[in-house]
Structure 1
Amino acid sequence: MTQKSIPFSILELASISKGTTPGETFKNSLDLAQKAEDFGYKRFWLAEHHNMVSICSSATSVLIGYIAGGTKKISVGSGGIMLPNHSPLIVAEQFGTLGSLYPNRIDLGLGRAPGTDQVTAHAIRQDRMQAVYKFPEEIEEIQKYFSSENIQGKVRAGVAEGINVPIYILGSSTDSAHLAAKKGLPYVFASHFAPTQLFEALNIYYNNFQPSGYLEKPYTIACINVIAAESDSEAEKISTSLIRMMLGVLTGKIDYVQEPTEMTPDLRELSKNPAFERMLKYSFVGNKATVKNQTEDFLQKTGVNELMVASHIFDHETRLNSYRIFSEIMKEL
């Protein structure tokens, strides 16, 4: 058993199921956030992706405002804002505004990846590769805009000054671990789709962490995929939607989330493919007991401070049930 209560949170991509619209998807995301608040989840973060027909969280800060406005206490934030796509000043103004509207409830997770393909990344910001190399400096710019001491600055984000919006460094490699440790900021690892360097990155972060005015000791969050249901066989059937979705990612043929089917020999063989197993290593699928065992093992091996969960499930009520089951698991742990 874990020695203390581990906070648990949600990473939402606002995935569009076949036959539904972005508007319906946004309403489902809000309903999930409201239920998550009742289930005891700590955060509800939204990812930034572009030019993906199956994901509609592209205008991330707008969606954060919608979710925060429809909930009462859960922290709402970005998982994350892909900083090279944006001006640090605009990010500070947007999140300063959100932090003013919803005090002490807004998180700013920052990542360096584009959240899309290279052609689309160029369309978003033509000088983004320069911004990629300036990622550490642009984080400092955002911190400056949030500082009350910037009152004398030539460039100010007045809505952000003195507002409490904690910054988190997101990553899927060891580079981000070095950066988060050096800056003394909390570190979030994308082990739900890029698990290869998880343990190396965590070790780097823990061993090199430098206390800062933002954080006294290391704080880590790891993301996993969870599909929980009443039985292992039911969860396996639900997971066929995830398998098809990941096939689309790997082949560059991204489509809407598909309705689940029975697990066929072809799908089972596909799920055992080395590329699939590498990406989905930390995908916990099964009934409550199965997912509980996998989750407990993951927590013991990683020692992370918090778990974040992503669930790509076709049916909204089925997804709600999966998150309900997982909340029960975490409360028992």
Structure 2
Amino acid sequence: MDIKLRDIPYSILELATVARDSNVKETFDRSLDLAQKAEVLGYKRFWLAEHHNMLSIASAATSVLIGYIAGGTSKIKVGSGGIMLPNHSPLIVAEQFGTLGTLYPNRIDLGLGRAPGTDQVTAQEIRSDRMKSVFKFPEEVKKIQNYFSAENTKAQVRATVAEGVNVPVYILGSSTDSAQLAAEQGLPYVFASHFAPAQLHQALSIYHNNFKPSKFLQEPYTIAGVNIIAADTTAKAEKISTSLIKMMLGVMSGNIDYMQPPEEFTSEHKEILAHPGFQRMLKYAFIGDAKTVKEKTNAFIQETGVNEIIAVSHIYDHNDRLRSFEIFSEIMKGEI
């Protein structure tokens, strides 16, 4: 079946990436500016990812930043992509997102993952017993749902600010385990194919084949992540992609730094992008002019059949990033 791009909702996953020669406050302001532009451009969601102890990522206090973005916009859905639940108490998560859902009705999403969002040493500092929560992840997801339930009023422990508040839960994952959980609990499923593409197809298959309708969702709903670096010319897109290349090399080598300015795109950069190790992380990095990005995005949609696409864009210059997301919106609306 041929799926039309204009029929697919498109969203943004934001990490509040800190560029060299910038600071955290400027980064937050740029994130808000991007969200405001995204709202005008027709993006469905603006999600923020939880990461810790990383120079280049400022979305550590994720729920706080969600409030800042939601307060500065009016209709785009704002949420977590995601909250790493083993780092937190389910009660506190329910209270935070119940509060957000009350302040911004029908606009807050709660994406939940089980990875630490950081290195193991930092994860231990965040919560020393987090591994117990990793193994209890399915039960802790249900705890959060109970706290949001209007029927929880007679429970001994309550999140009173969350009861009856509409905050839909999404299960995030980069492996087949999360697909099974999302299917079993009848929840929408979001796959991190923007950095962990290896098990995408297997996970989607497991989710669809095992999905059980629930009071939350009657039919399977899938969202998948891609990296988008679009520009008016392919040469420009390739040049600004060198910041992403340097960033990912830093992640792979454990030498994480601020996002670096772009440099001229050379044959060496092309070789790095094609290297099997790099492809294991950035198979779905769509870099080029509008025509190139449209072709790659269309192929991805036809290949996966996902219901929604969520785009990540690590670009050094804010105006270049705004232009990239503008081009992508034109692609998804069928204007290109």
**TM-score greater than 0.5 by the shorter chain:** yes
Structure 1 residue aligned with 2:282: 280
- Cα offsets for 1:142-200 (capped at 9, x unmatched): 00000010000000000000000000000000000000000000000000000000000
For 1:97, which of 91, 96, 99 is the aligned residue? 99
Identity %: 68
Matching residue of 2:251: 249
The residue number in structure 2 matching 1:14 is: 16
Quote the Cα distance in structure 2 between the aligned partners of 1:298 and 1:268.
21
Q: State the alpha-carbon separation in 2 of the partners of residues 223 and 193 from structure 1.
A: 8
Alignment partner, residue 2 of structure 1: 3
Per the alignment, residue 310 of structure 2 pairs with 308
Name the SS of the counterpart of 2:245 in structure 1.
helix
Please name the residue that 2:109 is paired with. 107
| 1:278 shift after superposition | 1.3
Q: Secondary structure at the match of 2:7?
A: coil
Match of 1:262 among 244, 253, 264: 264
Amino acid at match of 2:263: T
Q: How does 1:1-80 map to 2 (within 5 A)?
A: 2-3=3-4, 5-80=7-82
Return the alpha-carbon distance in structure 1 between the equivalents of residues 107 and 308 of structure 2.
17
* Cα deviations by residue, 1:193-215 (Å, 9 ceiling, x for unpaired): 00000000000000000000000
* TM-score normalised over the length of structure 2: 0.98
2:232 maps to which residue?
A: 230
Q: Does 1:175 align with 2:177?
A: yes
C-alpha displacement of 1:263: 1.1
Aligned residue in 2 for 1:196: 198
Q: How far has the Cα of 1:273 moved from its partner?
A: 1.8
The size of the alignment, in residue pairs, is: 333
Q: Which runs of 5+ in 2 are unaligned?
A: none
Structure 2 SS opposite 1:239: helix
Residue equivalent to 1:166: 168
Letter in 2 for 1:203: S
Tell me, in whole angstroms, the C-alpha distance in 1 between the residues paired with 2:155 and 2:98. 16
Coordinate RMSD, CA, aligned? 0.8
Which residue identity lines up with residue 275 of structure 2 in the other structure?
Answer: N
Distance in 1 of aligned mates of 2:261 and 2:189: 34
* Alpha-carbon displacement from aligned partner over 1:13-64 (angstroms, at most 9, x marks no partner): 0000100000000000000000000000000000000011000000000000
Match of 1:290 in 2: 292
Q: Mark the runs of 5 or more structure 1 residues left unpaired by the alignment.
A: none
- Per the TM alignment, residue 242 of structure 1 is displaced from its structure 2 partner at its CA by 0.4
Bigger mean CA deviation after superposition, 273-282 or 153-162: 273-282
1: distance between equivalents of 2:77 and 2:267? 42
